[in-house]
Amino acid sequence: MVHGNQMKVMLLNDMEKLERTLFRLEQVAAIFTGLSIIDRTSDMWVLKVMGGFVGWEALLYLLQELHFRLSQKGKIGC
């Protein structure tokens, strides 16, 4: 059972995680905006490469989160 104080701590932790995620998304959007201004090539290869890096980071983050949650439930031993 979660008590009132623990609920506040959990809520604050979740809000902080959301804030960090939104801040990171804002940083990535700023980088893409800057790259789109700088990159004058016809195929915009710099943006494509950066998009690949962002995709890999998102995939690795999701896999890490999945591994963490499964290890917390005891379904995998690490």
- The structural domains of the chain, with segments of one domain joined by +, span 4-73
CA dihedral 9, 72, 64, 62 (to 10 degrees): -70
- H/E segment holding residue 38: helix 4-38
- Give residue 78's pLDDT: 59
- Supply angle C-alpha 8, 10, 15, rounded to 5: 95
Q: What is the pTM of this model?
A: 0.65
Per-residue pLDDT tens digits of the chain, which is 78 residues long:
667 788 889 899 999 999 999 999 999 999 999 999 998 889 999 999 999 999 999 999 999 999 998 998 877 765
